[in-house]
Each structure stands twice: as C-alpha cells, then as structure tokens.
Amino acid sequence: MSGAEWYADGLRFQCTQCGNCCTGPPGTVGFTAAEAKELARHLGITEKAFLRQYARKVDGNWSLNEHETEHGLDCVFLDRETVPGKAVCGVYEARPTQCRTWPFWPENLRTQRSWLTTRHGTPCPGMDTGPLIPIEAIRIQRDAKKGGWLDGEG
C-alpha cells in the first residue's frame, strides 16, 4: 500500500457480541493447518473428527460449517444460548485468524467507503465505537490473513 492509510490515526472498535459477523448469507471461514490442530485440541477431538464434524470443502479449501437459523446461516460455533441476549463464539480461544482479525480485513480497509459499507451492511455495531485501535495494531491484523488456508484432504 503506498502513501498513508486513510486510517492512519487509528480506528475505533469494540465488539458488542451481537454475532452479526458470524451469520448472514452463505460465507466461508478458512483456517490454516495449525488452526485446525488448535481447534481440534480445544474441542478434545482428533483433527480428522474436527474436519468431519465441523468443516467442509469450499472451492478446494476447508471452511467451518454453518447451519440455518432464524438469523441466517450461523457459524457452527456461534452460541446464542449460553449468554442471554448475546451471540458468543463457542471456540473463542481457538478461533481462526479470519475471526480474530475482524473487522480489520484488507477488503474492509481498502477505502473509507469499504469500511462504512461493511459497518452498515453486516451490520457491525462495534465498528467506530469503543477504544481507539492504533494504526500499528490495525496493520498487524490487516496483514495477518495471508494465504495458507488448509486445503488438503485432512
């Protein structure tokens, strides 16, 4: 990226645990081989069992499964029961990079307009509220997603 990013002064973000980014129209949540291993360890099952029970292949890459709910297609790990009124991640400590780095994805940061489109389109009420996330931290999250999704047979 050349020149200063439009978000050089940082961006505010604080998740409200609404779950909107973990549901909606069909989507994919990719993960690396190391993340698959960590998810399996977290769930106390083998990697093979993890892939069989919780993932599927989309265009050659593994993705977490989703299932139909009244809210849309929820991530298989989205938990709407445990905390009343909240939608929390059931594998939070072991969640993949794609989830850890939301909403600081390259496509959301491309322009201020992309950011606003995501904020209103998802919608993500956590964007532009809460603590100021400095540019250095945003860059780390923005650039964390490069390649390496698990694409083998598992």
Contact 11, 142 (CB under 8 A): no
Q: Which of residues 120-139 bind ligand SF4 (CB under 6 A)?
A: 122, 124-126
Q: Which part of the chain contacts ligand SF4 (CB under 6 A), choosing from 14-22, 44-52, 75-83, 136-144?
A: 14-22
- Closest CB 87 distance from ligand SF4, rounded Å: 7
Kindly tell me which of 63 and 108 has the beta carbon lying closer to ligand SF4.
108
- Closest CB 4 distance from ligand SF4, rounded Å: 26
Kindly tell me which of 5 and 79 has the beta carbon lying closer to ligand SF4.
79
**Rounded CA separation 124/136 (Å):** 22
Q: Is 69 in the site for ligand SF4 (CB under 6 A)?
A: no
Looking only at the bridges linking them, the beta strands covering 61-64 and 78-79 are: unpaired
Q: Is 108 in the site for ligand SF4 (CB under 6 A)?
A: no
Kindly tell me which of 18 and 73 has the beta carbon lying closer to ligand SF4.
18
- Closest CB 139 distance from ligand SF4, rounded Å: 19
The correct pick among 54, 77, 102, 104 for binding ligand SF4 (CB under 6 A) is 102
* DSSP assignments along the chain, one per residue: --S--TTTT-EEE------GGGSSSS---B-BHHHHHHHHHHHTS-HHHHHHHHEEEETTEEEE-EEEETTEEEETTEESSSSTT--EETTGGG--HHHHTTT--HHHHSSHHHHHHHHHHTT-TTEEEEEEEPHHHHHHHHTTT-S-B--S--
Kindly tell me which of 25 and 44 has the beta carbon lying closer to ligand SF4.
25
Q: Which residues bind ligand SF4 (CB under 6 A)?
A: 15-21, 102, 122, 124-126
